[in-house]
Amino acid sequence: MKALVIAHEPDGHAGQIAARLKERGFIVDTHIVTHEYARPNDAEPWPNVDEYDVVLPMGSVRSLTRKHEIDSWVYTELELLKQIHAAGTPILGVCFGGQLLAEALGGSVEVAPVTEIGWFEIESPPGTENPAGPGPWKEWHHDRFTPPPSAEILAVNENAVQLFRSGRTVGTQFHPEVDFAHLEAWVNTCDDEYLASSGVTRADILQGASANEEMNIKQCHAFVDWFLDEIAFPEPATP
């Protein structure tokens, strides 16, 4: 089986999600949408998504509240994800990818009242079960989504909806894919002014990455297993 990772920038790959997919026997291809942070509208042509069994739109430094910065490709991607969902192909969207899915399927995205950069616990709303577990999970976002009207909300925290499902489509606000190297690469793209304005330091982020890496790899792999076994390709019920 084949999985397509949509990486909106070169360091926005699927990390430990891709690692687990490969362990489960998937061929994982990565399509990088834009290659230079300074040229966010210079996008690569889209691949043929019909060749893939799973699609994974990942995070981004971009925002759906500023579509004019990425209008050469973002509307195309929103329509593409809507079509993939309608076709029944499983989709797992992470952070910006989850926001794309929310908007493509009838939800919305707004600037969050609270920026989350760090490790946060999440929980299920009353009457539901959080299949991801409490974490803590890595958060790094300035926006948040309102899920589509038909979606089931599976996890929240006090600041945002963190996990939703609509059929074979799942969107997260948190980043299950990260490990130390991944977060170190992100930090290296940030200037001190941005970090200070967000209330964090490089040392904070790297210390958290080191302290939580082993735990997060395990919970990420378990989360991918849940997505594959319960959402994407569940076993038929035994009569």
Residues designated catalytic:
95, 175, 177
- Cα 106 from chain centre: 18
The residue type found at 227 is F
Half-sphere exposure of 69 (CA within 13 A, CB side): 12
C-alpha angle 13/17/18, rounded to 5°?
Answer: 65
Closest Cα partner for 82 from 150, 136, 17?
A: 150
3-state secondary structure of 151: coil
User: What distances in angstroms separate CA 178 from CA 23, 88, 207, 212, 220, one per listed residue?
Assistant: 17, 27, 14, 10, 8
**How many C-beta atoms surround the C-beta of residue 165 within 10 A?**
17
C-alpha–C-alpha distance, residues 118 and 19, integer Å: 23
C-alpha angle 149/155/158, rounded to 5°?
Answer: 100
DSSP per residue, 9-32:
STT---HHHHHHHHHTT-EEEEEE
Contact, 132 vs 225, CB < 8 A? Answer: no
